[in-house]
Structure 1
Amino acid sequence: MNNANGQPTTGGMKITPGDIIYTIFRHLKKIVFFIVIGLGVGAAVYVLWPDTYVSQAQLLVKYVTENREVVSEDGSTRTLSPGGRSSLVMQTELAILRSMDLAIEVDQNATALKETLDPENKLAVITPGTVRGGLTAASGRGSNIISLTFSHKDRALSKPLLDQIIQTYLDRHFHIHQDRGTFDDFLTQQTDQAKARLMQTEEELINERRKAGLISIEQARSNLVAEISRIRQSVNINKADLAEAESIYKQFTGRFEELTKANENAESQEEAGPSLPEEEMILAVRDYERKRTQLEILKSREKSLLTRFTPESSRYKAVIAQIAQTENEINALTTQYPSLFTRNTIEDSIATTNPEEAAQQARLQLTRINSIKSRLNQLDVQMGELQAEASRIDQVELTIKDLTRRKNLEESNYRTLLANLEKNRLSDAQSAGRVSNITILQSPTSPSVAQSVKAKFAGGFAGGICAIGLLWAFLVDIVFDRSIKRPTEIQRNLGIPLFMSLPDLNSKRFKKIKGKASRHMLQQAGRIKQEESKDPKGDFKPTSPTLQAAALSKPTEYGITQSPAKGATAPWDSNHALSEHFEGLRDKVITYFESKNLTHKPKLIGMTGLGQGSGVTTIASGLASSLSNIGEGNVLLVDMTLGHETAQQFYKGKNILNLDEVLESSDDAKMENNLYVVAEGTNGTKLPRIMPQRFNKIMPKLRASDFDYIVFDMPPVSPISSTPRLASFMDIVLMVMESEETNRDVANQALEILTDSKAHLGGILNKTKSRVPRKLEKDLLSQS
């Protein structure tokens, strides 16, 4: 965020070490008061607080066995040792000791101890709150030793209650880490569920085997492989027979054609012997091939039945009987038609000279070829069935193996749960008092007075009250008090350059000049009472602060001030207490003009503030006087605070009156060395008004005058004042703020009002309080 000058401002609340130091020294008395009160209260608490008696003990945690986890098949459990990766074990034990459940159980177990208490003793109280609040359990990092400290206001209860706490802790340790109670019920439920799942899986496995009709997957696959091999062998044999039959068929066909051409007479036919009828021969061959195919099917069925049934089964015996019957029928056909099914007959027939016999043999081989092809088709069908059966066996095998694996896993889980449940039942006989992994290194000691407890309470009260004092100081100074206090806040919070920081003449630091200063300087600072002069009747008494200051120098020209004091001086007097600061402000203003390369004359300087009493008139008068002392030209001071145009001119520290006469005609009033001293009317009459709407008319006269600097004492900034409109004519506008009085938000609002004037702004912090010693003061501007 940037201000009207384009300079960055700090947003939000930013607290620096200098702000903290300033706040402490500003409210030092209040803080010291709270510290004294806190120390007093702490001392009273230390004296009046009843004595607290403590008893101490130590426990050694060697290891912790977690029996709540399900053991593996070998019966192992998980054992954690304190330290290393299992360092959380000690935190768990400390949590058990600090729990409210343990305190409640201690209170319940201390019934016998309560009966021995004196009813009139108000300190002898046993409650869960006193047990938990009085117990302190701690363990060092990486250590497996627990240090216990129990404090109680009754000396007779410290040690017994610590004993009871240790015993209760051992019981709770056993119940938390080793007791199985509800967990055994859960384990029993899990065991029953595992058993039910195992039985269901076994039943599914039996049903799957029954559905598949297999006794053994391996045996069924072995028989199936053998059957497929046999069928493949039969296919090869039949393919060979088919090739043979086709070859013989071709030979007989060729023989028939030869004999037909060579023997066309009836004698050749008469020489041929008797032959079988053609229809009977075809039927015999077809029946023979059908019987052979049926025999092969029956043999295949026999091997298939062996994979599912025993040889003693009725179905298997029936197939064996059919095989025997089919073989007998084939033998009968061979016996009945030896000429058809004997290889020698066929070979001899090829050399026959009878065309009819050759034709008959050709037809016979053609029938045989068709039969062999039918047999091959049937073998292909059987091969497809066997392959489908192989696929089914593979699928059944996958299902059975999956069920078998699930059965083995569930059986293993069931055995593990059953073993763990049985182990827990055997361990239930152990009592909680038999905790072997925790050893008492130090039994509870005799009670002793705990001075540290009283000191903690006393220190807590004292520190709390002191903290309240500090908190109150910081809340007031940083949060609630929004005033500008230090010179650094001008740039940090308002974003405008700081031209000068003027001290408060009533501050403590200024009192140090009291022993060295003259009576005249102390009168200026208001440190000693000034002698009042008589108030002549009929004398003019100017009301303007500038005229009052001018009247101190020349009462015959400007009138007499209200109750003028003897020896009082004007701000432009060289003996004024702030003359050095006025000179510093003058140098800063001149340096600013030089940095901006402003060489025109006159240079217009506006001086305004944010309310009455901020010191605008004094600073404006002092700046004008300081500018006139450099001897480079005339300086004009214009007072615009009362709606009058009261003006003074300065040349080497001397004042000249009446602006209009000087601007219009100054020949008659001209003195030597460019010093103008002209009276306006009678003694102190009112000067003509210079209103904002008429300021444009007088500006050419001001620009054409012989003045080097014109300082305007302007009204405070407000939405209805003329200052924002007049600021646009100024080369620079200096806004005077009073330390610890001017509100920061109001100052920002005033800067926003002056933004439209496009004026260059600067800040002056007046009446700065020196709260911090010079040795600790880090702000250079605050040391002025």
Structure 2
Amino acid sequence: MTQNPLMPVSSVNVQPESRSAAATSRFSPVDHMRLFRQYLWLWIVAAVVGVALGVVVSLLCNYFVPRYTSISRLQVTGSLAEVFDAPLDPHEGGQLDALRTFINNMILTLKSPVVLDDTLKRPDVKDTEWFNSFHSAEDAYEDLYERVKAFRPRDSSIIEVKFSTPREKDAAVVLQAINQEFLRGYRRQLGNRDDDLRRMMSTERDRALEEMEAIRKDLTDFSEQNNIAVIRAEGSKEQIHYLTLVQTKAQLEMLLEMTKLNYTEEVRQGNDPQLNERPERAALQDQDPFIAEARVMIKRLKEFKANLIVKGFGPEHRQIKEIDRNILVKQNELNQSRTEMQRMASSIRLSAGQQELEGIYRQLASMGPQMAAADAQLRDLNLKIAEYEQMEERLVATQARHDRAAELLADIRVRSDRPDAVRVSVLQQPTVAELTFPNYPVMISGVALLVLAITVGWVYLTEMLDQRIKTPTDINLVPDATLLGVIPMTTEDPSGPQAVEGVVQEDPSGLMAEAFRQVRTEIMARMDRRGYKTLMLVGAQAGCGTSAMVGNLATSLSLNGQKVLVVDANFRRPSQGQLFNTPTAPGLAEVLEESASLGDAISHVDDAGIDLLPAGGGETTAPEILDGTAFQNLLAKLESDYDVILFDAPPALVASDSKLLCQHLDAVAVVVRAKSEKRGMISRMLRQLEGDRADLLGLILNGVQSSAGGYFRKNYQAFYHYRETGDESLPS
């Protein structure tokens, strides 16, 4: 199934949360495409006016405040690392930072007071119209400082200098003067720097030469007073002698320690009897003649005893006992002799060790003065040698200073003679001044965009602050509101009637009739589902088209086979009788007052196929007549005779009649005139109608123009296309 071309593109069933949030917003949402289409001619006019205004402003600026600019470029080369090498490439290694710093310093120098003051003192600058337009040199200086611009283009070694002035022929003259004074000052600065370095290095070279002569004289005098060769030889010899004494002392100290250990060991052995009985010492003692004779005697006695025992002498024999006594005596004598010999040997060894220690101590004591004398002699010789060597080192260092100063003097001389020592040169002479302000394309486009932006801003601000209901989308901003349908302006259907009254009857196949059928279908779907028969159509204020809406809906319902009654309940401004060309009295008022019968009051409209009960009465009829038993009885009678009863009620915010009717009728639909009622007013009206018996079905948006929403025109075109061709597809 294809989409109905008369239904709005935007959904009318909006979630309560989003609708509530939209209602609390201070600004109305904006449909950008709708605004673009609606105000397309305004955008075009604003752009044309902006272009024209931009041309006028540009011409005025060109006449009153023109600005002519001359441009010059200065080339900056790399520094000289070595005087005989080519300049360093400023774009290699770490030279870029150094180059950037140098260029920044040159820019500051170019705009320094010295350069600008010298520029203003030049005769060619004083002859310019620009200079003569100032009352004083101070004013000219301030203007010159503001107008001259110098900067370094990105990733380049160029200084671009610009000067702007209202006089075309003066820009290049002043800029040329600035360049010349800057380069003259820069070269003068380089010359002064080289002169200062040359004087400093010459002074350093002469001072070093004088110091060298003084050091050489000191060396000569020292050599005459002290034979340095002999001193060095004696020093070597004395060094060897001193080292020999140190070695001898060390050996004596080692010998002393060993002797102490031997002496201590000898004392310990002399006090230990077991050590004296060792075999090696006993063997030495046996070599003594007395001990040897005693041992021989003891051996013979033992042999004689053995022979006697062999012969049969027992142990108790007198001779055996005599021999044993003799052996014992001889053994005691032998032991005493050995003990005495050991004591005497130990005493001799201790005495020898003590004498050896005393001798070592004497030798060590005698070496102290010898070493002190040798050390003093060696120290004195070393001091003289060190003094001489220090003078030689001073001479070498001073010679290096002299040579370095002479080398730097030569480098300064060569560097000064090199053309590339001047790192700044003119790459491009000042150009012929060109008009830079006003820039016609920029000025015209800028003013045009500004005018267009102001226009767009004004339109958007007006739209956002506009609280009127213009399109179905605006219904979403009204809390608890439901859109029942949209009735376009009659101008949207060029082939149909130009008056909305009776349009369904006059052109039942037209666009307007189709729109009323859509509204009829939506309303009846809600009423039939709930069993409603009575419906009141009411607007917020007069002029919203409620009466025409009632008549057309009644006709559409009649064409749909419904038995319809239209009741004009607007006693102050009744209109249904005039619309359908029927008597205006008697009517509802006379029926309720029982001054006329219902049959006499109801008129049948043959063309529309409906019945009409006019208001009757007059402006003095009280609204309370609608709130009585007579009205309720009348409703019961009418509901039994008709399928649908439509009430044309006065505006809800103007009269209280609508509020009274809501207490007895089944349903109510609110008619809203597009671009007339504000959202707040409709919201207030809906709140007033709440809580009564009548069920609020929704809102009918009346008098919508396709220009108010771009999608409506396409929908209307789709309707015409379908009516003429029967093709349900939308036209391209």
- Aligned pair partner of 1:109 in 115, 118, 122: 118
Preserved contact between residue 97 and residue 137 of structure 1 (Cα < 8 Å): no
Preserved contact between residue 572 and residue 625 of structure 1 (Cα < 8 Å): no
* Partner residue, 2:60: 45
Preserved contact between residue 488 and residue 779 of structure 1 (Cα < 8 Å): no
| Gap runs ≥5 in structure 2 | 1-12, 198-246, 280-323, 377-399, 720-732
Distance 1:152 1:615 in 2: 69
Q: Does 1:475 align with 2:457?
A: yes
Using the TM superposition, give the Cα deviation of residue 109 of structure 1 relative to its aligned residue in structure 2, in angstroms.
2.9
Deviating more after overlay: 653-662 vs 112-121: 653-662
- Aligned pair partner of 1:442 in 428, 440, 446: 428
> What amino acid sits opposite 2:474 in the alignment?
I
Per-residue Cα deviation, 1:426-476 (whole angstroms, up to 9, x for no partner)? 97997999764444332223x35x3553443x862x555544543443333
Distance 1:638 1:269 in 2: 178
Distance 1:172 1:14 in 2: 67
Preserved contact between residue 572 and residue 626 of structure 1 (Cα < 8 Å): no
| Gap runs ≥5 in structure 1 | 185-222, 256-261, 318-414, 526-569
> What aligned pairs does 1:195-210 form with structure 2 within 5 A after superposition?
none
Equivalent pairs, count: 546
Check 1:147–1:84 CA distance in 2 against 1; reply closer, same or farther (3 A cut). farther
Preserved contact between residue 31 and residue 469 of structure 1 (Cα < 8 Å): yes
Preserved contact between residue 609 and residue 715 of structure 1 (Cα < 8 Å): yes
Distance 2:690 2:583 in 1: 36
* Partner residue, 1:453: 437
SS in 2 for 1:602: coil
Using the TM superposition, give the Cα deviation of residue 623 of structure 1 relative to its aligned residue in structure 2, in angstroms.
3.3
Distance 2:648 2:561 in 1: 20
- Aligned pair partner of 2:166 in 133, 153, 159: 153
Q: Does 1:312 align with 2:325?
A: no
Distance 2:633 2:505 in 1: 32
Check 1:670–1:503 CA distance in 2 against 1; reply closer, same or farther (3 A cut). closer
> What aligned pairs does 1:195-274 form with structure 2 within 5 A after superposition?
268-271=331-334, 272-273=336-337
SS in 2 for 1:57: strand
Using the TM superposition, give the Cα deviation of residue 478 of structure 1 relative to its aligned residue in structure 2, in angstroms.
2.0
Distance 2:425 2:702 in 1: 75
Distance 1:632 1:297 in 2: 155
> What aligned pairs does 1:66-465 form with structure 2 within 5 A after superposition?
81-82=90-91, 102=111, 107-113=116-122, 114-117=125-128, 121-122=132-133, 126-129=140-143, 132-133=146-147, 135=149, 139=153, 148-167=161-180, 268-271=331-334, 272-273=336-337, 275=339, 312-313=371-372, 436-445=422-431, 447-448=432-433, 450-451=434-435, 453-456=437-440, 460=443, 462-463=444-445, 465=447
> What aligned pairs does 1:486-501 form with structure 2 within 5 A after superposition?
487=471, 489-490=473-474, 493-494=477-478, 499-501=484-486
Distance 2:36 2:90 in 1: 53
Preserved contact between residue 57 and residue 444 of structure 1 (Cα < 8 Å): yes
SS in 1 for 2:57: helix
Check 1:109–1:611 CA distance in 2 against 1; reply closer, same or farther (3 A cut). farther
> What aligned pairs does 1:23-38 form with structure 2 within 5 A after superposition?
24-25=39-40, 27=42, 31=46, 34-35=49-50, 38=53
Preserved contact between residue 550 and residue 646 of structure 2 (Cα < 8 Å): no
Using the TM superposition, give the Cα deviation of residue 35 of structure 1 relative to its aligned residue in structure 2, in angstroms.
3.2
The structure with the largest alpha-carbon Rg is 2
* Partner residue, 1:393: none
Q: Does 1:633 align with 2:550?
A: no
> What amino acid sits opposite 2:553 in the alignment?
L
Preserved contact between residue 484 and residue 700 of structure 2 (Cα < 8 Å): yes
Distance 2:152 2:529 in 1: 79
Distance 1:135 1:609 in 2: 70
- Note the aligned Cα RMSD (angstroms): 7.3
- Aligned pair partner of 1:55 in 49, 60, 70: 70
Using the TM superposition, give the Cα deviation of residue 580 of structure 1 relative to its aligned residue in structure 2, in angstroms.
3.8
Using the TM superposition, give the Cα deviation of residue 31 of structure 1 relative to its aligned residue in structure 2, in angstroms.
2.9
Using the TM superposition, give the Cα deviation of residue 601 of structure 1 relative to its aligned residue in structure 2, in angstroms.
3.1
Preserved contact between residue 126 and residue 132 of structure 2 (Cα < 8 Å): no
Preserved contact between residue 582 and residue 619 of structure 1 (Cα < 8 Å): no
Per-residue Cα deviation, 1:209-248 (whole angstroms, up to 9, x for no partner)? xxxxxxxxxxxxxx9xx99xx9xx99xx99xx99x99xx9
Preserved contact between residue 535 and residue 645 of structure 2 (Cα < 8 Å): yes
Distance 2:475 2:409 in 1: 79
- Aligned pair partner of 1:599 in 529, 540, 561: 529
Distance 1:265 1:728 in 2: 171
Distance 1:725 1:178 in 2: 108
Using the TM superposition, give the Cα deviation of residue 38 of structure 1 relative to its aligned residue in structure 2, in angstroms.
0.8
* Partner residue, 2:518: 587
> What amino acid sits opposite 1:738 in the alignment?
A
> What aligned pairs does 1:615-764 form with structure 2 within 5 A after superposition?
615-634=545-564, 636=566, 639=569, 658=588, 676=611, 686=621, 689=624, 701=636, 706-708=642-644, 710=646, 713=649, 715-716=651-652, 726=662, 733-734=669-670, 736-739=672-675, 741-743=676-678, 762-764=698-700
* Partner residue, 1:574: 505
SS in 2 for 1:154: coil
Check 1:120–1:147 CA distance in 2 against 1; reply closer, same or farther (3 A cut). closer
Check 1:625–1:153 CA distance in 2 against 1; reply closer, same or farther (3 A cut). same
Check 1:488–1:686 CA distance in 2 against 1; reply closer, same or farther (3 A cut). closer
> What amino acid sits opposite 1:81 in the alignment?
P
Using the TM superposition, give the Cα deviation of residue 273 of structure 1 relative to its aligned residue in structure 2, in angstroms.
1.8
Preserved contact between residue 567 and residue 613 of structure 2 (Cα < 8 Å): no
What fraction of aligned residue pairs are identical, expressed as a percent?
13
